[in-house]
Amino acid sequence: MSKTVLVVDDVAFVRKTLTELLTEAGFEVVGEAEDGIQAIELYKTLQPNLVTMDIVMPELGGIEATRQIVKHDPKAVVVMVSAMDQMTLIMEAIHAGAKDYIQKPFSLADVSRVLNNALTGKSDPRAPSLGSPELKGELQ
């Protein structure tokens, strides 16, 4: 299975770090975007297997960008990248169509596990499923 990724974050250092981790984990980074508008345009052009999407960005945030990408391609695999205090936003992003999330600061093991699980549709055995009743309740 091809593992092409579009990395979306408004902070260049985060994009660079994620790109390095993804490359080390066997993914091919095919593009980078610094806001949601660029993310949508690049997704349509590049058709990556996966998108890592920052939640809070200027111009157009990650939640709305995810919503538009999933509307364009219902099979899109978007994984949110968030800071520790953004659980409410993460749940909103999941509701918008994101498959999972990676919490900052992230490690190679975390990034690799979450993205591979998102691509294969597997749930993480070490954490409650995002579709679990506990987390679904937070979406209501």
Full residue range of the structural domain in which residue 86 is found: 4-139
Give 49's Cβ-side CA count (13 Å radius): 14
* Of 34 and 121, more confident: 34
Give the tens place of pLDDT for each residue, 19-63: 999 999 999 999 999 999 999 999 999 999 999 999 999 889 999
Give the domain CATH number at 27: 3.40.50.2300
pLDDT exceeds 60 at position 125: no
Q: Give the distance, in angstroms, between the CA of residue 103 and the centroid of all CA atoms in the same chain.
A: 10
Site of tokens 């999407």: 53
98 close to 52: Cβ distance less than 8 angstroms: no
Question: Quick check: pTM over 0.95?
Answer: no
34 close to 9: Cβ distance less than 8 angstroms: yes
Count of domains for the chain: 1
Give the tens place of pLDDT for each residue, 83-118: 877 788 888 999 999 999 998 888 888 888 899 999
Instruction: Tell me what pLDDT residue 63 has.
Output: 95
